[in-house]
Amino acid sequence: MVVREKILDMVVSCFKRHGAKGLDTPAFELKEMLTEKYEENSGLIYDLKDQGGELLSLRYDLTRLSFLTYLCEVPFARYLAMNKLKKMKRYQVGKVWRRESPTIAQGRYREFCQCDFDIAGQFDPMIPDAECLKIICEILSGLQLGDFLIKVNDRRIVDGMFAVCGVPESKFRTICSSMDKLDKMSWKDVRHEMVAKKGLAPEVADRIGSYVQCHGGISLIEQMFQDPRLSQSKQALMGLADLKLLFEYLTLFGIAEKISFDLSLARGLDYYTGVIYEAVLLQTPAQVGEQPLNVGSVAAGGRYDELVATFDPKGHKVPCVGLSIGVERIFYIVEQRLKTSAEKVRTTETQVFVATPQKNFLRERLKLIAELWDAGIKAEMLYKNNPKLLTQLHYCENTGIPLVVIIGEQEQKEGVIKLRSVASREEVAIKRENLVAEIQKRLSGS
Amino acid sequence: MVVREKILDMVVSCFKRHGAKGLDTPAFELKEMLTEKYEENSGLIYDLKDQGGELLSLRYDLTRLSFLTYLCEVPFARYLAMNKLKKMKRYQVGKVWRRESPTIAQGRYREFCQCDFDIAGQFDPMIPDAECLKIICEILSGLQLGDFLIKVNDRRIVDGMFAVCGVPESKFRTICSSMDKLDKMSWKDVRHEMVAKKGLAPEVADRIGSYVQCHGGISLIEQMFQDPRLSQSKQALMGLADLKLLFEYLTLFGIAEKISFDLSLARGLDYYTGVIYEAVLLQTPAQVGEQPLNVGSVAAGGRYDELVATFDPKGHKVPCVGLSIGVERIFYIVEQRLKTSAEKVRTTETQVFVATPQKNFLRERLKLIAELWDAGIKAEMLYKNNPKLLTQLHYCENTGIPLVVIIGEQEQKEGVIKLRSVASREEVAIKRENLVAEIQKRLSGS
């Protein structure tokens, strides 16, 4: 709980740093979102039949990032269309309840945590897109999850690549969904699926194979511009031009070395229209000797320029780009790490403890602690008339309170208060009237 | 949304200042809480039949504070019993979903906001109780809702008063529930209900009447100690002794003048065992000439020492005292006030805007803004290659951003940046390398 709260606080403060306003989009019913009628009309996601049970199970797996992204971007797009908004920068962070299954009439609700940031509006190319990648970098660095990489591709490059390789247009979606498995399966197995299961010509699959194994930086973009096959596709060239501009902005942001242009990245969701990205942790933060944590991607997103129009009666377009942070996964990683380490997590934020070594100092303690509270200082004391000093100091050690204020007979006589550091056990006497100022000085210094 | 977030932030920071840890108690199903079986077993609240439809409707009125308190204290007590916890100081703030009605099989869920603080554990008398009242004062003062008063009574005084006035024990609950209406009805009407509807002897009602119209401070407590009738009740004397001690602590906390001992206060919930309290606003913060806002109480709580034992198979007792803040009401008051005033609420927290007066400065702006973000400064810029300066300055005025950083040809030549205050329109040139430090200095000063 405390760990989760700290992670969410950190994410929210990053979203606010980028000027986003908090907005809860009205909760969508999964049922409504998943009825085939709804989908056929809007064509939002892959054909249900395409992947057999797999996609269906993905839909109810609320820990899958692509599903989480979907659950947030679709309601956001609908919200923009319903309210005729042309521009907005918003985040949504917090607990959400969704009906678990649409088939059970009396569906149970399941709680999960959502962390999204989106920029809607018609702007000059790649500026908001670059900001989204900057935000992912800031959050993953800030959470100290270890080294990470953000894979970037563009939906137009994916489609262009399929076209020039000779994939029939009717097979784009199903081949795209096979490609999406490359993070868990080898190219050999994916190729087998494409050829044996999905009836792709072997030479077409091999052409795709020559691309999807490529990843790199700006030089790979330049190389693809010269690629005799890919450069035949106007779509792909548009995607490449945007990625080139994106990399220029990412360099100015100082994060280009964290980004990898990866031709195997497809992203499961059908409504992406431009740049797509997915962040993966490079080394798991588990202890040496432990099994590495397989956590999949921890953030993802992309550009979806057509989604708002599908909800607008007049079909007005509002271009959008956004990202989802996979906080459920991040919670898991951080909690696993804490379990294997000896690190103790504080469950409170108390800064100062008010103690006494003598009997009959309850009233003095009450006056003192009220003064601290009124100055905005987080303070605690034991709810006992005459607690033992050792009990009080143990309480501070056990709960991680860094400072102790001690008031006793001698201090009262001299008009002072003792201020003790729990870690160093050092004590200094401070004039009663300077106490709050001294504590504030110490707290701001640490 | 922004207003609500600020109010909740303020409440949470107060709870944390008092050393509480955040804890979500597992969501209770209203259905489960309201089945008569459940209630008869635990005897938690008034007999359903007692008040006819009134209590039933109260139960589903999620804006009623007593209902909100109930929805939080009962799950908290159950949580303590289930986890065999003897001690805990916790808060719960946030959105909660509850099934709206237990009778409809496919119940809809309704969202509301919960704000509770509770202290569980066996401690020396009235110390945690006094802290709860201090917390209510800090929150209501901090939210600047205008003048307020906290009515205080003790459940043992209520019961003792009924006994010495001659109320038959079988009528305690129903008479208590009539008394609870004194904040909305005159004594005359309440007396009529007691006598005509509930069959209380008129002279008994008159005896009650002589008490419930009393309210005051420590002197009223002293007076009640001497009261020939009330002092016959041992229960009442115990309650009075605790209130006397409580007032002593409240004086040390500097809040005694905000507290009124009020013999008419009953609090609807049956599980309270000691001190009870309810905060009311004395003057509504509405504009002059407006209808005063009738908002009822804005915070309430009390001591419930027996509730945990009702959930514990072995009946172990864990004394508790707690409070609920009526945030839904507070949201309403603040939102009404904002509507009638010209005050503009900022929807973002952006501190600095990065602008340029010339074309072709996108790259410089991107480098600059990344520097600000990396320093933790909340910053925005327009997502345009060549925005007009006036558009950029208007954006700051409209969204309330206080500072503008301006970079143009001249500044670049001189190695400086212009820092502009939006309010005063003053501009100063600052060395490029000192920019972050200067902004941080200005922001911490304001």
The one-letter amino acid code at A356 reads: T
**Choice between B291 and A19, residue whose per-residue pLDDT is larger:** A19
Q: List CB contacts (< 8 A) between A348 and chain B.
A: 16, 19-21, 89
Total Cβ atoms within 10 A of residue A443: 14
Q: Please give the pLDDT value at position A328.
A: 84
Q: Are strands A21-22 and A109-120 parallel, antiparallel or unpaired?
A: unpaired
What's the rounded mean pLDDT across residues B199-205? 96
pLDDT in tens, B92-116: 887 665 544 443 333 444 556 789 9
Pairs of CB atoms within 8 A across A/B: 127
Q: Are B369 and B407 in contact (CB under 8 A)?
A: no
Task: Determine contact: A380 vs chain B, CB below 8 A.
Answer: yes
Stated as kind and residue range, the H or E segment containing B184 is none
Q: Are A113 and A96 in contact (CB under 8 A)?
A: yes
A173, with CB counted inside 10 A (0-12, 13-18, 19+), is middle
Task: Determine contact: B124 vs chain A, CB below 8 A.
Answer: yes
pLDDT in tens, A9-61: 999 999 999 999 988 765 444 444 444 333 433 333 333 333 333 333 333 44
| Closest-CA distance of chain A to residue B170, Å | 37
Task: Determine contact: B282 vs chain A, CB below 8 A.
Answer: no
What is residue B114's three-state secondary structure?
strand
Query: Considering just the CA atoms, what is the radius of gyration of chain B in Å?
Result: 28
Helix, strand, coil share of chain A (percent; to 5):
50, 20, 35
What's the rounded mean pLDDT across residues B350-363? 96
Q: Are B427 and B411 in contact (CB under 8 A)?
A: no
At residue B36, does pLDDT exceed 60? no
Task: Determine contact: A343 vs chain B, CB below 8 A.
Answer: no
Enter the tokens of residue A197: 């299961």
| Closest-CA distance of chain B to residue A334, Å | 18
Q: How far apart, in whole angstroms, are the C-alpha atoms of residue A425 and residue A379?
A: 19
Where would I find the beta strands (DSSP E) of A26-99?
Answer: 88-99
At residue B26, does pLDDT exceed 70? no
Q: List CB contacts (< 8 A) between A247 and chain B.
A: none
Give chain A's length: 446
Q: Please give the pLDDT value at position A37.
A: 33
Q: Please give the pLDDT value at position A167.
A: 96
Where would I find the beta strands (DSSP E) of A20-170?
Answer: 21-22, 88-99, 109-120, 148-154
Residues whose CB falls within 8 Å of the CB of residue A411, separated by 6 or more in sequence, listed in order: A417, A418, A429
For B206-241, b where at least 16 C-beta lie within 10 A, e where not — what string? Answer: ebbbebbeebeebebbeebeebebbeebebbbebbb
Q: Rounded mean pLDDT of chain B?
A: 84
Q: Does this model's pTM top 0.80? A: no
The one-letter amino acid code at B423 reads: A
CB distance B16–A348 less than 8 Å?
Answer: yes
pLDDT in tens, B53-95: 333 333 444 445 666 666 678 778 888 988 899 999 999 887 6
Residue whose token pair is 């009242």? B133
Task: Determine contact: B23 vs chain A, CB below 8 A.
Answer: yes
Selection from A297-301, A311-315, B318-322, B340-344 with the highest mean pLDDT = B318-322
CB distance B16–A378 less than 8 Å?
Answer: yes
Classify the phi-psi angles of A336: left when phi > 0, otherwise alpha if psi is within -120 to 50, otherwise beta: alpha
Residues whose CB falls within 8 Å of the CB of residue A220, separated by 6 or more in sequence, listed in order: A214, A261
Enter the tokens of residue A110: 């399941």
Residues 136-155, chain B, touching A (beta carbon < 8 A) = 138
Q: Read off φ and ψ for residue A56, nearest 5 degrees.
A: -55, -45
Q: List CB contacts (< 8 A) between A383 and chain B.
A: 119, 121, 123-124, 127-128, 131
At residue B35, does pLDDT exceed 50? no
pLDDT in tens, B160-169: 999 999 999 9
CB distance A19–B379 less than 8 Å?
Answer: yes
Q: List CB contacts (< 8 A) between A4 and chain B.
A: none
Q: How far apart, in whole angstroms, are the C-alpha atoms of residue A215 and residue B425?
A: 49
Q: pLDDT under 50 in chain A at which residues?
A: 27-63, 99-109, 285-289
Q: Please give the pLDDT value at position B185.
A: 87
At residue B386, does pLDDT exceed 80? yes
What's the rounded mean pLDDT across residues B147-166? 96
At residue B28, does pLDDT exceed 90? no
Q: List CB contacts (< 8 A) between A378 and chain B.
A: 16-19
pLDDT in tens, A204-245: 999 999 999 899 999 999 999 999 999 999 999 999 999 999
Residues whose CB falls within 8 Å of the CB of residue B152, separated by 6 or more in sequence, listed in order: B133, B243, B246, B259, B260, B261, B262, B265, B275, B276, B277
Q: Rounded mean pLDDT of chain A?
A: 84
Q: State the Cα angle at A104 between A100 and A108, rounded to 5°.
A: 40
Residues 63-102, chain B, touching A (beta carbon < 8 A) = 89, 94-95, 97
Task: Determine contact: A375 vs chain B, CB below 8 A.
Answer: no
To test the contact with chain A by mutation, choose from B99, B350, B373, B381 the residue with the greatest count of A C-beta atoms within 10 A, namely: B373
